[in-house]
Chains A and B, each alone.
Chain A
Amino acid sequence: GENVEQHPSTLSVQEGDSAVIKCTYSDSASNYFPWYKQELGKGPQLIIDIRSNVGEKKDQRIAVTLNKTAKHFSLHITETQPEDSAVYFCAAGRDGTVWREGGKLIFGQGTELSVKP
């Protein structure tokens, strides 16, 4: 079935360093790839997303790259800050052909990022 693998499960970096989280997906029809940040006791919050018609997207310190051939995508956080510490989830989804299809997201297992001051 559909599957998303996420690595690493934990990541510790020094403030100011970069952090990279990688995901691979199994469904070749996937065309939507969001990244969510989840802080303790809160619901996931979208931080960036990318569609399969582009290979890279940036938003300030955050960037996502997509390699459709290899079926993997990555989140890059530069100049990390302590407030970036959280659990990050990647997900993959695909558009359906009719209204009753599509929408469902398949999530990775999460990466706990710790940024040390």
Chain B
Amino acid sequence: GAGVSQSPSNKVTEKGKDVELRCDPISGHTALYWYRQSLGQGLEFLIYFQGNSAPDKSGLPSDRFSAERTGGSVSTLTIQRTQQEDSAVYLCASSLRPPPRTDTQYFGPGTRLTVL
């Protein structure tokens, strides 16, 4: 079956512009996660969705970052007024069984964001 897909694969933008990153989870997966991976670094948790609700937004670095999920499926991560420090690979993951039990997370290929 299809895995997690993300679009675009690459995004180059100018400082101050808004960007939207999209994630299509594996069909039937109820939980969806966004992580950020800066160059040469590990993955940093951003936000988690259960259905369309986001019970854990603790990792969002500032109020310029927001995310939504519609229909219990597709999710969009929006970064407003982008800054150079936002440059990173943004990874989406989904899992079949929702929390509270921690389940296997399957990752997409990521969106590489470059802010000039």
Tell me the A residues contacting B by CB distance below 8 Å.
Answer: 4, 6, 31-32, 34, 36, 41-46, 49, 89, 91, 93-110
Bound: A95/B43 CA distance, A: 19
Knowing A34-B104, A43-B107 are in contact, say whether A99-B42 is a contact too (CB < 8 A).
Answer: no
How many residues of B are counted as interface, with CB atoms below 8 angstroms from the partner's CB atoms?
33
Query: In chain A, what residue has the closest Cβ to B45?
Result: A104
Check A103 against B110 for contact (C-beta < 8 Å): no
Bound: A6/B43 CA distance, A: 13
Check B99 against A105 for contact (C-beta < 8 Å): no
Most buried by B among A31, A32, A41, A100: A100
- Expressed in whole angstroms, the minimum distance between the Cβ of A44 and any Cβ of chain B is 5
Check A43 against B109 for contact (C-beta < 8 Å): yes
Check A107 against B101 for contact (C-beta < 8 Å): no
Check B99 against A96 for contact (C-beta < 8 Å): yes
Tell me the B residues contacting A by CB distance below 8 Å.
Answer: 4, 31, 33, 35, 40-45, 48, 50, 53, 55-56, 58-59, 91, 93, 95, 98-110
Bound: A31/B102 CA distance, A: 9
- Residues of B with C-beta under 8 A to A89: 42-43
A-B contact pairs, 24 of them (CB 8 A): A31-B102, A34-B104, A41-B109, A42-B109, A43-B4, A43-B107, A43-B108, A44-B43, A45-B107, A46-B106, A49-B104, A91-B43, A94-B102, A95-B99, A98-B100, A99-B99, A100-B55, A102-B101, A103-B31, A103-B98, A104-B45, A107-B35, A107-B42, A108-B42
- Expressed in whole angstroms, the minimum distance between the Cβ of A113 and any Cβ of chain B is 15
Check A95 against B100 for contact (C-beta < 8 Å): yes
Check A32 against B102 for contact (C-beta < 8 Å): yes
Most buried by A among B50, B53, B100, B109: B100
Bound: A105/B42 CA distance, A: 11
- Residues of A with C-beta under 8 A to B104: 34, 46, 49
Bound: A11/B106 CA distance, A: 25
